[in-house]
Amino acid sequence: MKKYIVLLGLFVSMVSQTVYAGIFLGAVDPKNSPSVFSYGWSGLRLGTLVGASIGGLQAIDQHEKLDDSGEADRIGNGAIYGLLGGTALGLGIGFYDLSQGQTGVGALILRDMWYGGALGLFVGAAIGGLTYSKTEDSKDVGSSIAWGYIGGTAVGLLFGFIESPLIVQKPLENQDSPVRLAVIPDSDMNMTPLLVYRTRF
């Protein structure tokens, strides 16, 4: 029974984090020049859930070996280690963006990892529910949720690396306005400000 309570708590924690964390912590918006600490918060959320998922898988594996001792500790320790590692990773990505003179690439990668993990969580829960209806083994639900979140986060990381440079680069290119302010001398050598329209042929 203890194992089922721990797995249920893991699932409820993941769902509540996914639904409400955006309200309290907010998604990192690259357009609003987020603080480096925003990256840290995003990394904390991701790391905590990934760590808890890994700990949950270890607890399930331990239970299959007929050893029920320390199941909750594995999940708790996984969440703590994930929290610390995720926070460090988020801050590292934030400082990298800062060193590049712009924000956005790292923020978008963290965002895609978060969305991918949330999607993977619910897909994993659905698959686990279908499997449970056939096997009536509750560990299938817990392992599917954990693997779904881990896999979704990994896929989000991959897509983040692919799309984030394109998303950040495109607005920068669009900022190159064809209308410029120029100052030119008139016939009396007085400097006159003019709007200059630049186009390409």
pLDDT digits (tens, 9 = 90+) for 118-151: 999 999 999 998 988 888 877 888 889 999 999 9
Average pLDDT, the chain: 74
pLDDT computed for residue 93 by the predictor: 87
User: Is the pLDDT assigned to residue 88 strictly greater than 90?
Assistant: yes
Q: In this structure, are residues 97 and 107 in contact, taking their beta carbons and an 8 Å threshold?
A: yes
pLDDT of residue 169: 65
What pTM value is reported for the model?
A: 0.64
C-beta of residue 117 within 8 angstroms of C-beta of residue 154: no
Question: Bigger pLDDT: 76 or 190?
Answer: 76
* pLDDT of amino acid 103: 62
The answer to whether 74 and 129 have CB atoms below 8 angstroms apart is: no
- Amino acid making up residue 165: P
Mean per-residue pLDDT, 22-28: 45
pLDDT of residue 178: 56
